[in-house]
Amino acid sequence: MSQYHVAPEDLHDWVRGGSGSIASMSVEQHVARCQDCRSDVAALVASAPTHAVPDLADVWSRVRDEIELPPASGFERLLARLGLPSSDATLVAAASSWRGPWLTALCAALVFVAAAAAASASDSSAGTSLFLLVAPLVPVFAVALAYGPEASGALEQESTVPYPLARLVFLRTAAVLIGSVPVVVLVGLFLPGRLSWLWLLPAIGFTSTVLGLSVWVSPMRAAEGITLGWVAAVACAVRFSTVMAVLDGRYLALYCVLLIAGPITLIVGSRRFGTIGRIT
């Protein structure tokens, strides 16, 4: 370590940002090597805080907060990298549909349905009916389970924080759909003809209806109501013509109306009441 030190007034000038570039270069080179001058700098900064240097106590508390926080999960980091704010990423990652058991159960059920459908490759077979009965309801229940107070203990805490509820619901819904729809789509690819993708329309129509209805009732109740209606519709179709009747043009238009009406109802309703269903 050098026996020479930076003159006090030069050090003072450097800290205030008043020294020229050559002078500050030499001060910097010296300070980087000299512990005594570094503690002089610390004393100068502490005794008279300058506007140029940030509030060190504040930065320290931020550093401490960050290193004491548990590290984010891999999925959260992925979402954050995709551009989602980190607080949103945490909320999305907490959605129950991303947990292993949930996805495993979903896959198992669908593989079973697909096997039945694939075994009988005609439009009116029992396998096709079964797929058409189950597939549109999968995202509906995935979404309902992600919020229903029955399923989520975290929701009570979440609904007390000042965070727009409608935004929370939409974010979660997106997360849930991204988790569950691809699995069903994959299974659907094994089915013949336009059925393999047309079922998506009632699926998202119903999901959006759950969101809309959740202004008044809990998402789980809404999902149950939709299930009853859908089962009845499919049963009638099978009884009086073929199951493909539920994918007739007129009904497809109805699903589109549901798809658009749901989110609008949720936004308007949550603004007006400040509550969503039993979630207040």
Partner 1 sequence: MTARARDDGQLLSALSDGDMGAMQTLYERHASWLSVRLSRRCNDREVVADVLQDTFVAVWRSAARFRGEGDVAAWLWGIAIRRLVSRLQSRQAVIVMSDLPEDPSRSTLAAEEQVLMGIEYGDLGKAMSRLSPEMRAVVQATVLDGLTTREAARLLGLPQNTVKTRLHRAKAQLRASLTEGSS
Q: Which residues bind partner 1 (CB under 8 A)?
A: 2, 4, 6-7, 9-10, 13-15, 17-33, 35, 38-39, 41-42, 44-46, 51-56, 58-60, 62-64, 66-67
**In the complex, least distance from residue 14 CB atom to partner 1, rounded to whole angstroms:** 7
Is the Cβ of residue 18 or residue 192 nearer to partner 1 in the bound state?
18
**In the complex, least distance from residue 12 CB atom to partner 1, rounded to whole angstroms:** 11
Is the Cβ of residue 81 or residue 239 nearer to partner 1 in the bound state?
81
**In the complex, least distance from residue 58 CB atom to partner 1, rounded to whole angstroms:** 7
Is the Cβ of residue 23 or residue 103 nearer to partner 1 in the bound state?
23
Is the Cβ of residue 69 or residue 108 nearer to partner 1 in the bound state?
69
Could you give the dihedral angle defined by the CA atoms of residues 180, 145, 117 and 246, in that order, rounded to the nearest 10 degrees? -100
Helix locations, the chain, DSSP H: 8-16, 21-31, 35-47, 56-68, 74-81, 86-93, 100-119, 126-134, 137-147, 154-158, 165-188, 195-198, 200-213, 219-240, 249-273
Backbone angles phi, psi at 272, to 5 degrees: -75, -45
**In the complex, least distance from residue 60 CB atom to partner 1, rounded to whole angstroms:** 6
Query: Is residue 165 within 8 Å of 279, Cβ to Cβ?
Result: yes
